[in-house]
Structure formats: C-alpha cells, structure tokens
Amino acid sequence: MTKILILNGPNLNKLGTRQPEVYGHTTLADIEAMAAAAASAQGASVACQQSNHEGDLIDAIHGARAEGFAGIILNAGAYTHTSIALMDAVAAADLPVIELHMSNIHAREPFRHVSYLSKVVVGMICGFGAAGYPLAVRALLGHLGHDRDD
C-alpha cells in the first residue's frame, strides 16, 4: 500500500485554537483525519507527524524513505521562510515532496513570500485552508502514478 508522510512544523499543533481569521477553526487532528480519508478513498494511507523543532523535521525527512513512505506532504510553517537546513534535507530526500500552506503566503507579509522549499519540491499548494491537505494527498498520489492496487 502506498504510504504518505504528512509532516507539520512549528505552531501547527495550535490550529483551531487561535487566529481563526487566518487559519480557520479546523484543528490539526481534523486535518489529519481529512488527509487520511482522502488517502483511504484511493487505497493509500498516511502517517502524520508534527514538531516544533527544526531538527526533528529534518530527521523525519531523512528517515522517510527507509520507513517505506512514497512521498511527503510538508507544511514547514515559518521554517519555510528561514531554513536552508530543511531545504537541504528535502533536496536530499530522494522522495517527492509537496509543499503546503493553509494560507496564501503571497498575499501576506513580504517575509512570507520567500520559500526556501519551493525550488526543491515537486509543487506547492497554498491558500485553500484545511482543504489543501486532501488536495495535496490527491496531487501526490497522482504524481506517483498511484492506482488503487498499489
């Protein structure tokens, strides 16, 4: 079965509790359930991890291939705009990675317009709120050429 790693970075464990005008009312647990349902509808599965620590995210990316994941959906939070280390880990992952943001980072403060990740990922989804996660699952499975029997 095709397995996808969904990796969420700093502060995303707080979703649904603050700043609903930016990030909505959906919690991280809700989002993980939406992504799992989208994967299951296509005969695939997801495993979800969240960390507030840059090194933990890097370790998860390093280990993903050996753990049998076919690709990664990564919302790196604010590390998107700062972390060359995370960019290097994604570039070396030897797995397709989709960059995801709930908000439209290009419609926000100028410092959020820069992503170190965009140049090393397959593609980026932003601005669709929580719905971006099931979209990213479908996009990644499509990129992988997954069919239900995989």
Window of 49-57, 76-84, 91-99, 137-145 that interacts with ligand CA2 by CB under 6 A: 76-84
Q: Specify whether 23 is catalytic.
A: yes
User: Pattern 81-110, binding to ligand CA2, x per CB under 6 A?
Assistant: --------------------xxx-x-----
Question: Which tokens hold the place of 130?
Answer: 């929580």
User: Pattern 3-32, binding to ligand CA2, x per CB under 6 A?
Assistant: --------xx-xx-xxx---x---------
For residue 40, give every residue at least 6 positions away whose Cβ sits within 8 Å of its Cβ, in sequence order, or none. Answer: none
R_g over Cα of the chain: 14
Q: Specify whether 106 is catalytic.
A: no
Options 79, 101, 116, 146, the catalytic residue: 101
For residue 93, give every residue at least 6 positions away whose Cβ sits within 8 Å of its Cβ, in sequence order, or none. Answer: 61, 62, 64, 65, 72
